[in-house]
Structure 1
Amino acid sequence: MSKKKILFFSSNLQRTGAEIVLFDILHHLDANKFEIGLVLLERDGALVNQLAPHIQVFYLETHFSIWDKVKFHAGQNVIYQRIQTIQKQFGASIWYINTIQNAFLLQYKVYFKIQTFLHVHEYLYNFEQLEIKDSQRLFDQVDYLVSCSELVYRFFAPIFPKVCFVLQSGINKAWIDDCLSDFKIEKNNKKKIISSGTICYRKGVDLFLETSQYFQDSAYEFIWLGKWANNGYAEVIRRQIKSGLYPAVQFLDNISPEEYYQQIASADAFITCSREESMGLVAMEAIYCGVPVLATNSGGSSLIVNESNGVLSQDFRPVSLAKELNSLFLKEFNISLMRESLSNFDIQLECQKLESYLLQEPIL
Structure 2
Amino acid sequence: MNSTKKRILFFTPYATRTGSEMMLLYILKKIDRSRFDIGIVSFADGELLNDFPEDIPRFIAPRKFNILQKISFHLGANPIHRHLRKLATDFKADFWYVNTTMIPETVLIAKEFSIKLVTHFHEMPLTYSYLSGPDFKSIIDYSDLLIGCSQATSNALVDSGGKNIGLLYSFIDSNLVKSNAERSAELRKKLGIPETDFVWVLSGMTSERKGFDLLPDIADQLNDARVHLIWVGAKIDDGMVYYTEQRCRNSRSATRIHLVGKQKEDYYNYLNTGNGFLLTSRQDPFPLVMIEAALLGKPIVSFPSGGVSEFVQDGMGVVTNDLSVSQMVEAMRKIMNGEVVTDSSRSIERAGQFNVENGYNEWIKLIDKNF
TM-score by length of 2: 0.86
Shift of 1:51: 2.4
Aligned-partner Cα distance in 2 for 1:32–1:68? 38
For residue 150 of structure 1, what is the aligned residue in structure 2? 151
Q: Does 1:85 align with 2:86?
A: yes
For residue 336 of structure 1, what is the aligned residue in structure 2? 345
Aligned-partner Cα distance in 2 for 1:87–1:300? 35
Q: Is contact 1:284-1:342 (8 Å) kept?
A: yes
Q: Is contact 2:232-2:261 (8 Å) kept?
A: yes
Q: Does 1:131 align with 2:95?
A: no
Q: Which amino acid aligns with 2:123?
A: E
Shift of 1:292: 0.5
Counterparts in 2 of 1:24-39, with a 5 A limit?
24-39=26-41
Instruction: Please report the RMSD computed on the Cα atoms of aligned residues, expressed in angstroms.
Output: 2.7
Match of 2:297 among 290, 307, 327: 290
Match of 1:227 among 192, 216, 234: 234
For residue 271 of structure 1, what is the aligned residue in structure 2? 278
For residue 141 of structure 1, what is the aligned residue in structure 2? 142
- The 1:193/1:130 distance shift into structure 2, 3 A limit, reads same
Q: Which amino acid aligns with 1:261?
A: Y
* Deviation string, structure 1 residues 56-95 (Cα, Å, up to 9, x no partner): 3321111223322322333323212112334444432221
Q: Percent identity?
A: 24
Q: Is contact 1:169-1:347 (8 Å) kept?
A: no
Shift of 1:107: 0.8
Shift of 1:116: 0.7
* Deviation string, structure 1 residues 206-230 (Cα, Å, up to 9, x no partner): 2222212345675332111111235
Shift of 1:275: 1.4
Match of 2:256 among 248, 258, 275: 248
Shift of 1:136: 1.2
Match of 1:316 among 309, 319, 323: 323
For residue 100 of structure 2, what is the aligned residue in structure 1? 99
SS in 2 for 1:106: helix
For residue 192 of structure 2, what is the aligned residue in structure 1? none
Q: Is contact 2:300-2:317 (8 Å) kept?
A: yes
Aligned-partner Cα distance in 1 for 2:304–2:260? 25
TM-score by length of 1: 0.87
For residue 199 of structure 2, what is the aligned residue in structure 1? 192
Aligned-partner Cα distance in 2 for 1:158–1:208? 32
Q: Which amino acid aligns with 1:271?
A: L
Q: Which amino acid aligns with 1:287?
A: A
Q: Which amino acid aligns with 2:207?
A: C
Aligned-partner Cα distance in 2 for 1:361–1:201? 37
SS in 1 for 2:209: coil
Q: Is contact 1:41-1:59 (8 Å) kept?
A: yes
Aligned-partner Cα distance in 2 for 1:120–1:251? 30
- The 1:200/1:158 distance shift into structure 2, 3 A limit, reads closer
- The 1:333/1:139 distance shift into structure 2, 3 A limit, reads closer
For residue 362 of structure 2, what is the aligned residue in structure 1? 353
- The 1:182/1:196 distance shift into structure 2, 3 A limit, reads closer
User: Which deviates further from its counterpart, 156-165 or 289-298?
Assistant: 156-165
Aligned-partner Cα distance in 2 for 1:6–1:333? 44
Q: Is contact 1:169-1:281 (8 Å) kept?
A: yes
- The 1:182/1:269 distance shift into structure 2, 3 A limit, reads closer
User: Which deviates further from its counterpart, 3-12 or 71-80?
Assistant: 71-80
Shift of 1:144: 0.6
